[in-house]
Structure 1
Amino acid sequence: MPDGQEHAFTDYSNHPLRDLPIDLTVCIGHARPRLRDVLNLTEGSILPLDRQIDDVVDLFVGEKLIARGQLIEVNEGAELAVQITQIFAGGSMF
């Protein structure tokens, strides 16, 4: 790569903060119900989201979108996971 351009992937194996746990948020969709609908929620209520079951999900660290992926089942369907399909470059995370 020409000088001044960042590499898409950086080796963080020696970064001093690499073992620091971070909160990662997986956004599967949004809802915008009316207040009266929220007040009427009960156990078993269904809240529709703005995405389909097979749509990509967004991964955030804080407010920064870092990746997108697909929800998958793991451990014989006992757990959900995200299979990363796109990682956003554009600067170091640190």
Structure 2
Amino acid sequence: MSDDVNQDLLAEQWAAALDDQDDDPIGDLGNFDDIGGGAGGGEQPQNMSQNEALAEEWAAALAADEQEDVKKEKEQSLLSSKASQAEFKDLTEDAKAIRPESGKHELDFILDIPLDVSAELGRTRLLINELLQLGQGSVVELNKLAGEPLEIFVNGKLVARGEAVVINEKFGVRLTDIISPIERVKQLA
């Protein structure tokens, strides 16, 4: 029951505050001491002085914010007036100019880069169980037919096709077809 009485008292105080709000935009809502069972409306002059002090603080804070905004705008206009359009030298002609010595030197530094070259006879897929059952003399079927060209890969990219040859008792590959740059780009996609 005491909760109902407190709620009724709170509702009455809110209604009174809303009625007084027409005269003062901040009204009695600025002081919450009397809400919840305190003294009624006997503190009206004190509330007004607190509300006026609060309003003055708000006005001072807003004025300070406006001064900061004006100061920032002045700084921005000063900086923008000092800024100038950047001018760059046109390097198109220098880039197009052929330097006879530089052509050879530009490629020299990449000639010693090592590459992995591999020749692939064919491929297949095995399960781990099938791989474990392989032994000496086992035959693994590949996806290529007999007589099809080998594929030559450089760093994992197909660059040529060829046929297997034996030279001085070692296997080798005779290149029969070089992949064009356009085909290499198509394979990347």
Q: Assess same fold via TM > 0.5.
A: yes
For these two proteins, the number of residue pairs brought into alignment is 77
Tell me the alpha carbon deviations over residues 54-84 of structure 1, each in whole angstroms, 9 at most, x when there is no partner: 2101111123111111111111xx1110000
CA shift for structure 1 position 50: 1.5
In terms of fraction of residues, the more helix-rich structure is 2
- The counterpart of 1:79, out of the listed 167, 170, 189, is 170
Q: What residue ranges of structure 2 are gaps of 5+ in the alignment? A: 1-103, 183-189
For 1:21, give the aligned amino acid.
P
CA shift for structure 1 position 29: 0.4
Q: Hey, what does 1:43 align to over in structure 2?
A: 136
Q: TM-score, normalised by structure 2?
A: 0.37
CA shift for structure 1 position 24: 0.5
Q: Hey, what does 1:65 align to over in structure 2?
A: 158
Q: Hey, what does 1:18 align to over in structure 2?
A: 111
Query: Contact 2:117–2:153 at 8 Å: present in 1 too?
Result: yes
Which of these two proteins has the greater Rg computed from alpha carbons? 2
CA shift for structure 1 position 52: 2.9
Query: Contact 2:119–2:152 at 8 Å: present in 1 too?
Result: yes
In terms of fraction of residues, the more strand-rich structure is 1
Deviates further, 56-65 or 43-52: 43-52
Q: Hey, what does 2:145 align to over in structure 1?
A: 52
SS of 1:49's equivalent in the other structure is coil
| Greater RCO, CA 8 A, separation 6+ | 1
Whole-angstrom CA distance in 2 between matches of 1:53 and 1:72: 14
Whole-angstrom CA distance in 2 between matches of 1:63 and 1:34: 23
Aligned-pair identity (%): 27
For 1:70, give the aligned amino acid.
E
